[in-house]
Structure 1
Amino acid sequence: MKTVVRTDERILTSDIFDRDSRVKRPDHGSWAEPGKSIPVYHRCGVLVVGGGPSGTAAAAAAARAGADVALLERYNHLGGLSTGGLVIWIDRMTDWEGKLVIRGFAEELFDRLPAEAIAGPAREDWGSQDTAKAAHWSQRTAAYHGVVTWSPTIDPERLKLLSQEIVLERKVKLIYHSWAAIPIVQDGAVKGVVFESKEGRMAIMADVVVDATGDGDLFARAGAEYVNDIEEADVHHCMNTSWLFGGVDMNRWIEFKAGQPEAFTAFMAGGREQCGLFERPFVSWRNDVALFMGPRQSGYSALDVDDLTAVEVRSHRAMAAHLDYFRAHAPGFENAYLMLSAPQIGVRHARRLVGVGSVLRSQWPDGVPLADEIGVSPAVSPKFPNISIPYGALVPKRLDGLLACGRHISCDRNSHGFMREIPQCWITGQAAGVAAALASRGGIAPRFVDVGALQSALLAQGVYLRTGAGDGQGAAASPATAEAGA
């Protein structure tokens, strides 16, 4: 186990637990799949593969921009890690001055969620440096570096329902229980996907495909370049399955954690000794529900089925061990019960696209808006200004017919630590959806979408941008081109 401490480049302190030993998989030979004709299930202008935060935003934005859209999702719900993954603490959407910079689709979601489905500071407190307010919200995932932020917790079931209803309102063809398996590539461009369902294997053809799988499954299988290096001293490469305990009193827990620091330290030490894998709880949208987003496990690959299975096994065992320990020793947890383990595993990193542009650590200090800016991310600490997200980070360096959004966009390993977060996924998803709609309408490759037209369309959908109408050229003209893939 190693402990990551809070710094100017990391928000959280967290323990990271190394993997168990692994038995090498034996070689059982191979089987040659016979060729067959695949029926075409659907044809559309824009196909979004993956209904997580970025994919939901992409489908909704593309449909709002006038495209004929299909959304393919392997689970029975939308929202991905923000719902099925129980990552119900939505990271910071305000900058360090309290300005809301994650807007557009994200803002629509929070405007439409019921008030009882959201817990977080009042708008007038965003950016506050009042000592008492910051101390209160620091225990509730909404104050860092002494600044109150808009980083609320939400009811995952309400977000599932709202996400679904938004895409259906916009006439998106929603396809659940279907897993995209193979991209259809012709002459260096993606033309659709082959997917698997209970009906067997079928195809969807599209003018533009948006890869919102989170792991870059489509662009990797289509031959696009990608990288997968990690920042060893951060949690962003770890995996875990989150869970909820019900029947708790989080106010009592916070009183203990904040008011008895020595007892809390002893409690954590005892938990590590008794449970091995151990994590502290976070608040949720209700005082009687506790969120556990860990323990974070290192050394496993999100692209290896044996590793994915091992993380699930360890996480579920840890959940039961935590319940026994917390019931016995944690104030507010005497009557806790197992409420829910996440249906989706918590994957933070697998692949990152090598794009025309990129979000880079070297760009953090200057905060200059890039000419092809399609969104703005709050910086990781008050030490840095807001960070510009370029359109080129969504566009593969060579592959056509496809855009990427979500945690696998083009960025370096440091920037990935925040670009993988749910609000940033909403931003890049919305941009990918609008760009895909413009490319489909114009009959052009996504890399040739007019940046000014894209920015104007995003502004019309409520996205916060700092650049004007661009230079009228596509992503190939991005000033970040020379640094792509760094």
Structure 2
Amino acid sequence: MAIETEFITKSWDIPLRASVDVAVIGGGSAGVAAASAAARNGASTILVERYGFLGGTSTAGMVGPFMTSYTPDGKRQLVAGLFQEVIDRMVAMGGAVDPSTTEAGSAWGSFIELGHANVTPFHVEALKMATLEMVCDSGAQIRFHTSFVDVIMDGERISDIVILDKAGLGLLRPKVVIDTSGDGDIAAKAGAPFEMGRREDGRMMPVTLFLTIGNVDDDRVVAWMREHEKLHPGERLFECIVKEARETGAWTLEREFLNIYREPTPGQWRVNTTRVQNVDGTNPDDLSRAEVESRRQVWDLIRFFRSHCPGLENVQLLATGSQVGVRETRHILGDYVLNGQDVLEGRKFEDGIAQCSYPIDIHDPQGPRGRLEGIHADHYEIPYRCLVPRQVSNLLVAGRPISADHEGAASARVIPPCYATGQAAGTAASLSLKQSVAPREVDIERLRKTLQEQGAVV
């Protein structure tokens, strides 16, 4: 028998908090870049963030290191601009390692070759400060502890954004909105079409709670890996130990190896190994279940590290993410949908606004393994049309939910492309106001030229 859902209706008087040129909703990687770019290009800009710090999944979720921002051979940087500026700020603090110095197959990249050269190890606290300084220096206003609630539409145009903060409900009145929520929340509320997960069945990649461990014997971990990669080429870190433990029942996680990354501080590593399946990151019940299950997995991991893994016998749990890391939810449908063949074949576009080379990296929505397939070219491009959602005239989308299918998004979802699409969206929003046109109608050559002049690679 179907359960009837109960509703109530209540009217609110919602005060106007601010009128701005550009409202950026979500202070993660794409949001930091979008707000900084919009403000630097002359638009009055407000950045809305639910936490008390910026960085999104890289800080609240502790997702790291940043994956590659270079060509597969490591000879040319593909994502620069505001992304490199954040790195430079962290390096100056002693809180990051520049990606130009990190090699494939090293401890910085969890000993993985494909797609794991030129990664950027960083400290979460350094990233919080670097992103904060960059946005503040740009002149953008930040509204912390503020959540997105809803949109008010005037035809196909967003006229107001409803927010919630400690003072209650409020309104923002922007001319252009940039959705950097990570899940396409604003686009979905505004009526933009989207797909969930993979097209054939809607299944999404699993979520992961990151953790940082300390008191690791770095040399012993590296020595174990170097010995075993000679005996078993292609084997991942501690894979044979995990396999044996699975047979005895000592390992139950849906992972077949340990995915851990050395951090700038000696003895400290970032762990990407927990896994919770069948989670819809837009469903609060699923997210709650994922938090409960993944935090239990964290302590199972700590016990396993201590009892089974050479070099990890004395590890201490230093920190866990404030939230699980979500790899996939909505794919907003834009004027172009980036697909897997675009990525693999290294396709270029007349309206390209970002260059990327990260492999198609799919964590299996139904099993312990996945697919890591490198591109067959120097790089591929993300076209501006992937940032322009259908059916909403004054909205741009940047970051994880840009217009891409399951395979295309499996490459474009990582942090460097999020910064690149964020910088492009913020720049385009400002240009659209200067040109008195909708974001969809921005002069593409002027956009690309502006991005190049400001350090981006297009």
Shorter-chain TM band: 0.7 to 0.9
Paired residue for 1:434? Answer: 427
CA contact (8 A) 1:231 1:414 kept: no
Q: In 2, distance between residues paired with 1:288 and 1:200?
A: 45
Shift of 1:383: 2.4
Q: In 1, distance between residues paired with 2:23 and 2:87?
A: 25
Does 1:117 find its partner at 2:95?
A: yes
Paired residue for 2:41? Answer: 65
Q: In 2, distance between residues paired with 1:59 and 1:213?
A: 13
Secondary structure at 2:34 match in 1: helix
Q: In 1, distance between residues paired with 2:3 and 2:220?
A: 54
Per-residue CA deviations over 1:161-194 (Å, capped at 9, x if unaligned) read 0100111111211011111010121121112310
Paired residue for 1:475? Answer: none
Secondary structure at 1:338 match in 2: strand
CA contact (8 A) 1:89 1:141 kept: no
Q: In 2, distance between residues paired with 1:164 and 1:121?
A: 21
Cα separation, partners in 2 of 1:231 and 1:119, compared to 1, 3 Å: farther
Q: In 2, distance between residues paired with 1:460 and 1:35?
A: 49
Task: Give the alignment partner of residue 165 of structure 2, picking from 197, 210, 225.
Answer: 197
Shift of 1:441: 2.9
CA contact (8 A) 2:68 2:357 kept: yes
Paired residue for 1:305? Answer: 284
Query: Counterpart of 1:118 in structure 2: which amino acid?
Result: A
Query: Counterpart of 2:241 in structure 1: which amino acid?
Result: F
Paired residue for 2:296? Answer: 317
Shift of 1:231: 7.9
Does 1:153 find its partner at 2:121?
A: yes
CA contact (8 A) 2:35 2:140 kept: yes
Per-residue CA deviations over 1:195-218 (Å, capped at 9, x if unaligned) read 112211111110001000010011
Per-residue CA deviations over 1:262-310 (Å, capped at 9, x if unaligned) read 8944421355432422561332222311211132222111111111111
Per-residue CA deviations over 1:308-346 (Å, capped at 9, x if unaligned) read 111111111111111112112222222211211101220
Secondary structure at 1:174 match in 2: strand
Shift of 1:358: 2.5
Query: Once structures 1 and 2 are overlaid, which stretch shifts more, 160-169 or 33-42?
Result: 33-42
Query: Once structures 1 and 2 are overlaid, which stretch shifts more, 387-396 or 270-279?
Result: 270-279
Q: How many residue pairs are counted as aligned between the two chains?
A: 430
Does 1:174 find its partner at 2:174?
A: no
Paired residue for 1:356? Answer: 335
Query: Counterpart of 2:96 in structure 1: which amino acid?
Result: I
Q: CA RMSD for the aligned pairs?
A: 2.4
Shift of 1:388: 1.2
Query: Once structures 1 and 2 are overlaid, which stretch shifts more, 158-167 or 335-344?
Result: 335-344
Task: Give the alignment partner of residue 218 of structure 2, picking from 250, 253, 258.
Answer: 250
Task: Give the alignment partner of residue 451 of structure 1, picking from 431, 444, 447.
Answer: 444
Q: In 1, distance between residues paired with 2:444 and 2:111?
A: 34
Shift of 1:118: 1.9
Cα separation, partners in 2 of 1:63 and 1:31, compared to 1, 3 Å: same
Task: Give the alignment partner of residue 386 of structure 1, picking from 360, 379, 382.
Answer: 379
Cα separation, partners in 2 of 1:360 and 1:266, compared to 1, 3 Å: closer
Cα separation, partners in 2 of 1:294 and 1:334, compared to 1, 3 Å: closer
Shift of 1:419: 0.7
CA contact (8 A) 1:236 1:417 kept: no
CA contact (8 A) 1:231 1:237 kept: no
CA contact (8 A) 1:406 1:428 kept: yes
Paired residue for 1:268? Answer: 242
5+ residue gaps, structure 2: 360-373
Identity %: 29
Secondary structure at 2:212 match in 1: strand
Q: What is the TM-score of this pair, normalised by structure 2?
A: 0.88
Does 1:331 find its partner at 2:307?
A: no
Cα separation, partners in 2 of 1:264 and 1:425, compared to 1, 3 Å: closer
Task: Give the alignment partner of residue 53 of structure 1, picking from 21, 26, 29.
Answer: 29
Q: In 1, distance between residues paired with 2:390 and 2:99?
A: 41
Map 1:118-133 to 2 at 5 A. 118-119=96-97, 122-123=100-101
Cα separation, partners in 2 of 1:232 and 1:264, compared to 1, 3 Å: farther
Query: Counterpart of 1:298 in structure 2: which amino acid?
Result: Q
Cα separation, partners in 2 of 1:195 and 1:121, compared to 1, 3 Å: closer
